[in-house]
């Protein structure tokens, strides 16, 4: 039976590249409101992912239908985000801050093996 630790292991071993790519995309799309919350000491024009420090499974449920287990829930990532500003046509690094980001996830398993891609969305 799957528990949060085994789902975390699956995330790290099977889906890490997808989670990282999705996080890079999400961070690059942060708007002014999100950036002001993260970077309180200076104004940034945009951000990029520096590092995923930790991934935690905060919610998990399993539904079984004809031998296919759909594993879904929510995860939290503790990430480091680099902030940049545009100055006279060039980019200036302003600093790195830590923040949290939450995703809903879903994937399918059969006979203890992952049989689908992971689906991710911001929560």
Q: What are phi and psi of 83, to 5 degrees?
A: -105, 140
pLDDT in tens for each of the 123 residues of the chain?
789 999 999 999 999 999 999 999 999 999 999 999 999 999 999 999 999 999 999 999 999 999 999 999 999 999 999 999 998 889 999 999 999 999 999 999 999 999 999 999 999
Three-class SS of the chain: CCCHHHHHHHHHHHCHHHHHHHHHHHHHCCCHHHHHHHCCCCCCCEEEEEEEEEEEEEEEEEEEECCEEEEEEEEEEEEEEEEEEEECCEEEEEEEEEEEEEEEEEEEEECCEECCCCEEEEC
Q: Give pLDDT, residue 88.
A: 87
Length of the chain counted residue by residue: 123
């Amino acid at each position: 039976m799957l528990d949060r630790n085994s789902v975390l292991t699956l995330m790290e071993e099977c889906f890490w590249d997808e989670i990282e790519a999705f996080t890079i995309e999400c961070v690059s799309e942060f708007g002014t409101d999100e950036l002001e919350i993260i970077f309180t000491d200076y104004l940034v024009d945009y951000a990029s992912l520096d590092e995923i420090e930790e991934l935690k499974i905060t919610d998990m449920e399993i539904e079984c239908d004809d031998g296919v287990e759909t594993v879904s829930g929510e995860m939290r990532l503790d990430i480091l985000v680099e902030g940049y500003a545009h100055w006279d046509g060039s980019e200036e690094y302003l600093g790195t801050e830590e923040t949290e980001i939450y995703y809903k996830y879903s994937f399918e398993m059969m006979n203890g093996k992952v049989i689908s891609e992971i689906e991710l969305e911001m929560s």
